[in-house]
Structure 1
Amino acid sequence: MRFTIATFALAFAGTASAHATMFGVSVNGVDQGDGRNVYIRTPLDNGPVKDLASPNLACNTNGGEAAPSFVKAAAGDRLTFEWQHDNRGDDIIDPSHVGPIITYIAPFTTGNGAGPIWSKIAQDGFSNGVWAVDKLIANKGKNDFTLPANLAPGKYLVRQEIIALHEAETAFSANAARGAQFYPSCVQFEISGSGTVVPNENFDFNTGYTFADPGIVFNIYTAFSSYPIPGPAVFSGNGGGNGGGAAPPAPAPTSRPGSAPTAAPPAQNPNIPAPPAVQPPTTLQTSVRPSSPTGAPATQPSSPCTPAQPARRRRR
């Protein structure tokens, strides 16, 4: 299958509704209300972080500003995090922005979340031809997970991220116009219960996520049957991990509609598919913090947006 005019049009359409941010939380199905700048450390805009060395990778651009309130929940409760694009119930995130949704927890800090304090408590990647982002859109922006039942009571930060892979066939470090897009959001919780376990994976995003990670540099535009979720194993709630990493393989290779499967993944690393015959278009010119030199290779299709007209839409 070749890239078609419709394929390019779909990618360009993503510039109008690409980004996402978190709206609020429900606890056991009870809506806690609009959490933006209330119990969520809401970022300055709904754009992504792409530089793995940036302190914004932990809790985004407003991560060092503690919110005034906490969501109250108990260990073992079912939580629902609700995402939006600009407004509650809108288009959530562009369907081209496929990728995993990963949830971490850390002891509460008034700092920006940088450093080795995080443990992974939930993840959803790719299985049976469906991405976590596909499910998020189908579920009107809602993603469910369960707090570890043995979690010690106290105040915590719970961080959920979307990793959009539509430009991830090339590392940001190699070409700052492309690269995986990270959408992290940190929520303040006060958790009750009789548990005694304090999550202890001590994961640091700035050192634990690298451009050598096959889940961060990943080509969705060619055939693949599984996806290796980045980060540590999922914390089991009893002081250790209970697996994680790569999602189970789907029954048969698949690719996104309109993509161009061209070759099997390289033998030396089956998790990274070979690059497509035609380079996928850039759907936006992202403003990245901190900035890095940009410039696409000679064969790179030009972005539909220029730096003078950034595609990122700011929330009002």
Structure 2
Amino acid sequence: MLFALASLALLAPSVIAHGWLSTISIDGTTYTGPSPDDAPTKDTVIRQVSDVGPVKGATNPDMVCGLSASLANKQATAMPGSKIDFMWISRGPQNWIHKVGPVMTYLAECTGTPDCSTFDASKAQWMKIDQLGLSDAASGTWWHQNFFDGKPLSVTLPSDLKAGNYLFRNEIIALHTATSEGGAEFYPACAQLSVGGTQTGTPNATVTIPGVYSDTDAGILTPDIFNTPVQYIFPGGAVSSMSAEADSADLADLKAETTLPAVAFNVLSGSSNSSSSDSSSVASSAASATSGTASPTAVAGAASAASTTAAASKSCKAKTTSQKKRRVHARHWFH
């Protein structure tokens, strides 16, 4: 009986408590998204999903904006360089219950339509602007845990982002059941933005969703995810070269600055610059495309790969934190 109760307790987070993107706050203005339990509505900037559960399978069409996500009529106002705070909660409402796995953010311009209210997200070309992984690889603590603790995370829009209408796609990949293929839980959500200003920057590379992940990617199938110190490789495209200088963590505690090859370094934690194509090639050479929350020791792990790739790569800057709060923001330049 005790064994059965213990087993139920272990399963509870994956069975009972999932959730949704509840708010985004842009430069001090907060926009609240509808719960899946609310009556269907388009009177929002966050596209409403139909259920609190996860999307299963990396090629599922719901990978774009969440389970049966509906269009929204409103758009949040933003500027290049705007800070966006975002918060996920679970049904109740209560704090988000998961705490293992990356949090990634993509942008896609709503092309061919007057705004994003009628834009088909399945046709979007996405650029990754941020990714958050481990805040402490030694203990296996993820930035994702902020939501579990009732705290938001944030991301900064690229400072040179051209004016236009954009989908802001925020995604949690919960890895607590990802020790076997198909176990990862995807929680994507989309908000609609109207970006002003006079900038003209565009990404040098984009990805499609679904299509950017597979269920066997190193950062999605994670049999060793609970073995510390955790080593993690981000799935998906590299962080765009348009990314703003500051990423979503507080950079005040950054201690050192190192110039690294664009091909990157072993991920021990992080907010990273990694691509799916980079990850597969780098994994075979023991230096993987990576992270902004990487430990200082990650830099050394890339030395062997750097010598063979420096001629083909531009350098990118990374800032590293102390051993306790390991975090790097690196810029990856596409060719």
TM-score bucket of the superposed structures, by smaller chain: 0.5 to 0.7
Please report how far the alpha carbon of residue 87 of structure 1 lies from its aligned counterpart in structure 2 after TM superposition.
4.8
Aligned positions of 1:55-204 closer than 5 A? 55-63=61-69, 65-87=70-92, 90-92=94-96, 94-95=97-98, 97-108=99-110, 110-115=118-123, 117-128=125-136, 129-138=140-149, 140-172=150-182, 179-204=183-208
Cα shift readout 1:235-280 (whole Å, capped 9, x = no counterpart): 13279xx969877426xxxxxxxxxxxxxxx999899xxxxxxxxx
**Could you say which structure has the higher strand fraction?**
2
Partner SS, residue 147 of structure 2: helix
Change (3 A) 1:246 1:70: farther
Identity of aligned residues (%): 30
State the partner residue of 2:268.
249
Task: Give the drift of 1:53.
Answer: 1.9
1:234 counterpart residue number: 239
Higher relative contact order (CA 8 A, sep 6+): 1
Corresponding letter in the other structure for 2:153: N
- Corresponding residue of 1:54: 60
Q: Structure 2: give runs of 5+ residues left out of the alignment.
A: 36-41, 111-115, 245-260, 270-282, 289-335
C-alpha separation between the residues in 2 aligned to 1:41 and 1:8? 35
CA distance, structure 1, for counterparts of residue 59 and residue 177 of structure 2: 18
Find the counterpart in structure 1 of residue 254 from structure 2. none
- AA of the residue aligned to 1:215: G
Letter in 1 for 2:50: L
**Higher deviation after alignment, 75-84 or 11-20:** 11-20
2:73 aligned partner, one-letter code: P
- Quote the offset at 1:204 in angstroms: 1.4
Note if 1:13 corresponds to 2:15: no
TM-score by length of 2: 0.63
| Closer, same or farther: CA 235–190 of 1 in aligned 2, 3 Å | same
AA at the equivalent of 2:145:
D
The TM-score with structure 1 as length reference comes to 0.67
Unmatched runs of 5 consecutive residues or more in structure 1: 173-178, 251-265, 272-316
Higher helix share: 2
C-alpha distance in 2, partners of 1:248/1:24? 30
Structure 1: distance between partners of 2:162 and 2:170: 20
Conserved? CA contact 2:21–2:33, under 8 Å: no
- Structure 2 contact 104–130 (Cα < 8 Å) conserved: yes
Kept after mapping to 1: 8 A contact 2:80/2:159: yes
Query: How many correspondences in the alignment?
Result: 240
Alpha carbons 2:106, 2:129 under 8 Å: kept: yes
* CA apart distance, 1:34: 4.5
Provide the C-alpha distance between the structure 2 equivalents of 1:115 and 1:62, rounded to a whole number of angstroms: 15
Residue 144 of structure 2 aligns to a residue in which SS? helix
